[in-house]
Chain A
């Protein structure tokens, strides 16, 4: 039996939910999500400092999805009644306690990307705050842009901003696809 991806989404949005999106990731969806998060957090009286931090990390997390997600396998899209080419992913923001939050994103990946992401995250989790800052500056100044327009800084920035290790999981879906779950704790 194939992994029940949709239930992962239902699980991660449990608790004190600030915002959640499951479905197509477009530029407009990102704009709306960010605006909703900012309004909710400020209305809830959260400190401006933590709002800025969450906003910055969410921009990177959502734009990583936008640039890098894989369109889901056909049988998955059909099971959720999604369009065949729906750029499906999810993103949630949950408050875990006073000044403590969790951002979770989920998207399909396949092929070499799986090992690449594992290595990337493991490498970042191994680095100290100082080393992350130095790596950030080095990559910032390397004049390289990927073909998708990314600067290779998204994960570094998320690790640096959160100040915590990045949590992740790859759930095997079929012989080709896995589902990548990224968990970022902010406090």
Chain B
């Protein structure tokens, strides 16, 4: 299965979805006007990946900014991962990174955590 690698832009995050290592990364800024268009292939990839996933799937979310339409798409990504966690042989851990003094980003991670049934790890980045 092919991996996805997309470089970041001022409005879209860098993406690295690696089927071989089970490492899934979304990093940077996610503020596109059309979030659905950006996230659709990622959600579709996770659908396929759930058929072959095993071992630990390590998810790294390290966002500086994200807009509200991305927040819904990110929840879609998490819901696919939640499904993968409960129905496949793989174990998923979401690592939610936030800067030391960025309470809003920590709170955003906690909001997702409260909605989903999947292990979340809040990781503080020291400045």
- A residues contacting B by CB (< 8 A) are 27, 30-31, 34-35, 48-49, 52-53, 55-56, 59-60, 63, 66-67, 133, 136-137, 140-141, 145, 149-151, 153-154, 156-157, 161
Contacts and interface: CB of A to CB of B under 8 A. Distances in A.
Nearest to B10: A31
A34 B32 CA distance: 12
B69 A150 contact: yes
Contacts of A145: 36, 69, 72
Nearest to B72: A151
Contact of A157 (B68, B102, B115): B68
B111 interface: yes
Given A150-B68, A157-B68, 12 more contacts: A35-B10, A48-B101, A52-B104, A53-B104, A56-B104, A63-B67, A66-B33, A137-B111, A137-B114, A145-B36, A145-B72, A151-B69
Given A56-B65, A63-B33, A137-B114, A153 B71 contact: yes
Nearest to A31: B10
A35 B34 CA distance: 19
Contacts of A66: 33
Contacts of A150: 68-69
Interface residues of B, number: 20
B33 A27 contact: yes
Contact of A59 (B67, B75, B111, B115): B67
A59 B65 contact: yes
Among B35, B68, B69, B104, which residue has the most Cβ atoms of chain A within 10 A? B68
| Residues of A contacting B: mostly | helix
A56 B69 CA distance: 12
Interface of B: 10-11, 31, 33-36, 65, 67-69, 71-72, 75, 101-102, 104, 111, 114-115
B115 A161 contact: no
Contacts of A60: 67-68
A163 to B, nearest CB: 11
A86 B115 CA distance: 41
A84 B72 CA distance: 34
Given A48-B101, A153-B68, A161-B104, A140 B75 contact: yes
A149 B111 contact: no
Contact of A55 (B65, B68, B71, B72): B65
